[in-house]
Amino acid sequence: MAEPRSAVVTGASRGIGRGIALALARRGWRLTLVARDPARLALVAASAVELGASDVDTVAVDLADPAAPATVLSGYRPDALDALVLAAGVGSAAPLDGYPVGRYDKQFALNTRAPFLLIRSALPLLRAAARRDPAHGARVIALASIGGVYAEPSLAVYGATKAALLALCRGLNAEESAAGVLATAIAPGYVDTDMSAWVHDEVPPSSMIPVSDVVDTVTTLLDLSARTVVNEIVLSRAGTRGYAA
Ligand SMILES: NC(=O)c1ccc[n+]([C@@H]2O[C@H](COP(=O)([O-])OP(=O)(O)OC[C@H]3O[C@@H](n4cnc5c(N)ncnc54)[C@H](OP(=O)(O)O)[C@@H]3O)[C@@H](O)[C@H]2O)c1
């Protein structure tokens, strides 16, 4: 019997990351779920087991801490990693004029440095998965944002963290795709999760992208062959001109 495919999913306790984790569980994947809140992670892990995950580990860690990515992979048991899903992220909206440097640093630490550190430490495991399953290869899937592609007032700093993530994914493809390690940055407009609740007065949840559409995008990417690179996918909200969050 073929080994189950394995994934590390950050931001798995809530929102988009949770949705992706549960979809992979339904497909029998072996999962490592990462976020800060151990109680929420335990609930998602229990649901994942119920839905058919082969095995589930949780790592409760603050990924903004530079030592955390090493912690995530130090306890990782499989000898290969088919998918690294980077969904943990934070956004802090305010105009550039007077923007606090502490908020800038926090967002870059979580949204950009943690993905870089995780990708760098996971590369040997991703390459091992690509050798074992050359048809699919191994994929890094990073949740960027439409704010990393098009300008949005008050989202310049958040957008900058996500633009860097888009560039990291392109760079990874340039360096590793020939060997079967591929990356995609998904850049959605507002998705209906806790993160976008602050904007409900202007953008009602019923007009936001549902988590399930982002999840379906991820599972489609994971079904593709290793011969196809998808650097980025922009998901725009209906009713906008395509360039707005
Ligand atoms: N929602 C949107 O409108 C939208 C649009 C475009 C892109 N995105 C991006 O999509 C990704 C997922 O967003 P979401 O809407 O699902 O957000 P969410 O509902 O706020 O969930 C964020 C997830 O990240 C985890 N997390 C937050 N800070 C963390 C930290 N310091 N260390 C480890 N884990 C941390 C949270 O768990 P804990 O609190 O337990 O740590 C949670 O699991 C993010 O990267 C976001 O930037 C979201």
State phi, psi for 232 to the nearest 5 degrees.
-155, 155
User: What is the structure's pLDDT at 1?
Assistant: 66
User: What is the structure's pLDDT at 75?
Assistant: 86
Spatial contact of 115 and 86, defined as CB atoms under 8 Å apart: yes
> Which of 8, 9, 14, 184 has the most ligand 1 atoms within 8 A of CB, as the residue to mutate?
14
User: What is the structure's pLDDT at 69?
Assistant: 87
User: What is the structure's pLDDT at 80?
Assistant: 97
DSSP 4-46: PPEEEEETTTSHHHHHHHHHHHHTT-EEEEEES-HHHHHHHHH
Quote the tokens at residue 234: 């922009």
Q: List residues near ligand 1 (CB under 6 A).
A: 11-17, 35-37, 40, 62-64, 87-91, 110, 143, 145, 188, 190-191, 193-196
* 3-state secondary structure labels for all residues of 92-152: CCCCCCCCCHHHHHHHHHHHHHHHHHHHHHHHHHHHHHHHHCCCCCEEEEEECCHHHCCCC
Tell me how far the alpha carbon of residue 90 lies from the centroid of ligand 1, in angstroms: 6
User: Going from the N-terminus, what domains does the chain have, and what CATH number goes with each?
Assistant: 6-186+211-229 (3.40.50.720)
Percent of the chain predicted with pLDDT > 70: 100
145: closest CA among 191, 207, 188? 188
Tell me how far the alpha carbon of residue 107 lies from the centroid of ligand 1, in angstroms: 11
pLDDT (tens digit per residue) in 159-215:
999 999 999 999 999 999 999 999 999 999 999 999 999 999 999 999 999 999 999
**DSSP assignment letter at 236:** P
Q: What does the mean pLDDT of the chain come to?
A: 97
Q: Which residues pair with 83 in a beta bridge?
A: 7, 139
Q: Report whether pLDDT(220) > 90.
A: yes
User: What is the structure's pLDDT at 128?
Assistant: 98
pLDDT (tens digit per residue) in 44-103:
999 999 999 999 999 999 999 999 988 999 889 889 999 999 999 999 999 999 999 999
